[in-house]
A and B are shown apart, each in its own frame.
Chain A
Amino acid sequence: MPSLSRRATLVGLGLTTTLGRVKLALADAPTQTRFVVVLLRGALDGMYSVVPYGDANLASLRPELIPPAPGQQGGMFDLGGFYGLNPNLPNLAAMYQAGELLPIHAVAGPYRTRSHFEAQDLLQLGLEEDNPGITSGWLNRTLRELPTRNGPALMGLAAGMGMPLLLQGPARVDSYAPEHFASPPPNLAARIAALNAGDPLTGPAITDGMQAASLDQSIMSDDATSAPGDAPNRGGAFPALASKVGQLLAADDGPRIAAFQLEGWDTHGNQVAGLKTPLTGLDQGLTSLKTTLGPAWAQTCVLVMTEFGRTAAMNGTKGTDHGTATAAFALGGAVNGGRVIATWPGLGSGQLFENRDLAPTLDIRAVAKGALTQHLGLSAPALARVFPGSGDAAPLSGIIRAS
């Protein structure tokens, strides 16, 4: 089994040899559902990923940014006659066919800034505007609403180097990135941990790291070293990372919530060429996640979101500048997909936001709240704590398949 790690093998053995104990563990676990957020940093052009080719105004706005029509060579994948999925996303198209992909369009955060950095912060904080009293990410607050469980692993996992704001906060979170260096032997590691125990930053980080190491030691040790200047979070590295994280999420005692952050979406120029690699990486990475989750995919919901969209019209350099509404995706075996959710605002004159951007008709918090309540069972008061001040953004219904 070359593609399976020793960890996965061990879990398999555990299932066959000590079935009774594992079943008990399953019963003890507060949730078997998996929830994953993929944050696309840099503002994905929603009208290039989920192309509203049925809108008569599209061609004049962005003639060079429309993939060939469905059915043509290298054409879009039709999503029901009005929208087309970008041809760089063939695996997502297959998931759509299988009813596992739910594109959501004309969606935006509650804020109206065109600053990447302000918008990314607000998206992760789950806020309309900066609030000094709220410094934790909404996914971290979600963790606090879930029942705690016994066991070696933490519930939440930041995938890739660097802890995103989305997962920062009081609930302790694990993190995982491919390994490059030799690890100290256990006795030395214990002394390092003891020396750092009193440090509020390095102390908990080391304790969590040692817990994670004992869970996924074998998974972490078989990665190739990266080349100089390699970008840790580019689309190209996503499939490999997603594959490992899928294994961790699949494990009985593994984390249940994970977040990825991918870069490469800020396409001010030559967008068609520039988005090819990131979109392909996204497509392949989400497929890796599905593959390695295995049967747990049926209990998984992945939310793909970005801080805002891009201008409806192509700019002067065959790209797009910062805009407002965009597309998001929910996908997974638990997702009620195979259709597009959108109240399409139109692209005609007077229909664009500030005469420039796709107008938002849905709040991204409504999408997240819908997923959290339908998938993780969060109550209305819990949703209000996770997304304070989001009363106007009622949870979007129908994201998760009725079981």
Chain B
Amino acid sequence: MARPAPLPFVISRYAATRYKSGMDEAKFIAATRFGFGPGPQDGQGGDARGWLKAQLQGPDPGLASGAFTGLPTGQQAVDALRADAMARKTLKEQGLPEKGNFQSQARALYEQDAAAQLNFAATTPAPFRERLVWFWANHFSVSAQQNQAAPLIGPMLREAIRPHVTGNFAGMVQAAERHPAMLRYLDNDVSIGPDSRAGQRTGRGLNENLGRECMELHTVGLAAGYTQADVTAMANILTGWSIAPSDKGSDSTGFLCRPFAHEPGPQTVMGQTFDGGEQAGIDALNFLATYPTTYNLLAKKLVTHFVADNPPPGAVARISGVLRDTEGDLGAASAALVDLPRAWTPGQKLKTPFDYVVSTMRAAPPPPDQPAPKLLAILSGLGQPVWGAPLPNGWPDAAAPWAGSDSVTSRIDWAYTYAARFTDTGPAPMDVAHAALGPLLRTATLAAMQSAGSRREALTLFLTAPEFQRR
């Protein structure tokens, strides 16, 4: 073994740090349960609940801080997809292979955008607000596994999710369903009313994908008891909601309503009749967004995310009631989550790979003299590629799918791999552990870290301890 034995050095670094007792447990629960663990810029004061609620005020910190400057609008990402298609077509006409001659602009946009927003999550001083952003992005999941949607997802987060996280749910529904990312992912951009002018001329017709999923997954849920006829009607209502050609969008997202593809005439969804036109879609989505079962569905998901895999019915009823009373005020619902006593039991949730990697980046940021870790590849390797859920219901928010031996083993392997960065540099592992978990750190973990043979091993033991694998 060529590695020099760093043992005396390690021991002296450990000796310099004493266990700090009497720290405010609530502060660490606030940071881990509601955020992604304490980060270098948190600035959390004495009042944990106040710190969380303050994050619900004002505009999205990512947008307001300029952290995403230079990233594309939806329309620009749409244009990049078109440019890719043109470039490939030209190569084909010239008889040239794509390999070596073609570089996807759209793929590069996806990777830049995912890296930027992931980096923001790892560094934001308002991690509760940021967790809500990723929660809602997963609720309106669009998957990068679909190449034609991948570069649109980052813009969708900025244009449809972030502005509405503390606003009205109906506003988020409107922005999400009409965003080109969603329209492309769930095929609505090519869905054509059979009796529309386009339908009559081309013989093409309906694709009910978005109509179904916006009801089942995004709003009322199966509990509403709707029928196939309701789904078909909703899909008809949304015909014509499509993606703009270059610079022709009605706004910077790249949305365009195409009246000639819209199914004419009134449609009835769950007993409510909507006249035709783009307004019918807006009205129908407002109807779905404010339907009683929608509030139950959202409350259950929120409580599952912030309290426990099996959400306590009383807590669900409480959040559902707030949503109903405020007609879908997500800021009020988020504040009510903070006030749930059950949300303050530590360690109820197993971190997803995303949680795990982001919280590791916050607890032990990569030393500045080293190349940045390839977080996108890491998350793919851990089974949760960024914005890459396999199906439109998004990533699961329960332990079981992430608690398989291979899932847990690979995160341990990654932790050991990542900890190698701290072999001879960076903060002492014990300092990292105290700053990240405070009084939530178990004495067994501390003891194991103290007897570790190297800084790398000590940090690995911390990152793989159950109290760090949970939130």
The stretch among A2-10, A65-73, A172-180, A292-300 that forms the contact with chain B is: A172-180
Q: List residues of B (407-453) whose CB comes within 8 Å of A's CBs.
A: 407-410, 412-414, 416-417, 420, 444-445, 448, 452
Cβ of A265 to closest chain B Cβ, rounded Å: 10
Tell whether B7 is near chain A: CB-to-CB under 8 Å: no
Q: Is the CB of B404 within 8 A of A162?
A: yes
Most buried by A among B114, B186, B187, B231: B187
Tell whether A31 is near chain B: CB-to-CB under 8 Å: no
> Measured between alpha carbons, how far is A176 from B409 in the docked complex, in Å?
10
Tell whether A205 is near chain B: CB-to-CB under 8 Å: yes
Given A205-B408, A228-B376, A316-B206: A181 touches B414 (CB 8 Å cut-off): yes
Q: Is the CB of B413 within 8 A of A179?
A: yes
> Measured between alpha carbons, how far is A113 from B228 in the docked complex, in Å?
10
Given A161-B383, A228-B380, A229-B150: A316 touches B408 (CB 8 Å cut-off): no
Contact with B along A151-172 (1 / 0, CB 8 A): 0000000100111010010000
Q: Is the CB of A232 within 8 A of B391?
A: no
Q: List residues of B (251-294) whose CB comes within 8 Å of A's CBs.
A: none
Q: Is the CB of B405 within 8 A of A41?
A: no
**B residues near A213, Cβ cutoff 8 Å:** 409
> Measured between alpha carbons, how far is A229 from B383 in the docked complex, in Å?
10
Contact with B along A305-340 (1 / 0, CB 8 A): 000000000011111011000000000000000000
Most buried by B among A209, A225, A228, A230: A228
A: number of interface residues (CB 8 Å): 69
Interface extent on B, as a size class?
35 or more
Q: Is the CB of A202 within 8 A of B404?
A: no
**B residues near A322, Cβ cutoff 8 Å:** 208, 212
Given A162-B383, A196-B464: A183 touches B416 (CB 8 Å cut-off): yes
Q: Is the CB of B390 within 8 A of A321?
A: no
Tell whether A134 is near chain B: CB-to-CB under 8 Å: no
Tell whether B119 is near chain A: CB-to-CB under 8 Å: no
Q: Is the CB of A162 within 8 A of B407?
A: yes
**A residues near B144, Cβ cutoff 8 Å:** 229
Q: Is the CB of A195 within 8 A of B199?
A: no
> Measured between alpha carbons, how far is A180 from B379 in the docked complex, in Å?
11
Contact with A along B446-467 (1 / 0, CB 8 A): 0010001000010011001110
Closest to A159 in B: B406
Given A184-B416, A205-B403, A233-B390: A225 touches B377 (CB 8 Å cut-off): yes
Q: Is the CB of A231 within 8 A of B409?
A: no
Tell whether B400 is near chain A: CB-to-CB under 8 Å: yes
Q: Is the CB of A176 within 8 A of B406?
A: yes
> Measured between alpha carbons, how far is A184 from B420 in the docked complex, in Å?
11
Q: Is the CB of B208 within 8 A of A201?
A: no
> Measured between alpha carbons, how far is A340 from B159 in the docked complex, in Å?
51
Tell whether B109 is near chain A: CB-to-CB under 8 Å: no
Q: Is the CB of B381 within 8 A of A226?
A: yes
**A residues near B402, Cβ cutoff 8 Å:** 162
Q: Is the CB of B460 within 8 A of A316?
A: no
Q: List residues of A (200-245) whose CB comes within 8 Å of B's CBs.
A: 201-210, 212-213, 225-234
**B residues near A162, Cβ cutoff 8 Å:** 383, 401-402, 404, 407
Which residues of B are in contact with A by a Cβ distance under 8 Å?
A: 107, 110-111, 114, 144-145, 150, 186-187, 190-192, 194, 199, 204-209, 212, 216-217, 222, 228, 231, 350, 374, 376-377, 380-383, 385-386, 388, 390-393, 399-410, 412-414, 416-417, 420, 444-445, 448, 452, 457, 460-461, 464-466, 469-470
A and B contact pairs by CB, cutoff 8 A, 13 listed: A42-B391, A182-B416, A188-B461, A192-B460, A192-B464, A196-B469, A201-B399, A201-B408, A209-B406, A232-B385, A266-B209, A268-B207, A316-B194
Pick the 5 closest A-B CB pairs, nearest first.
A316-B205, A161-B383, A209-B409, A180-B381, A181-B413
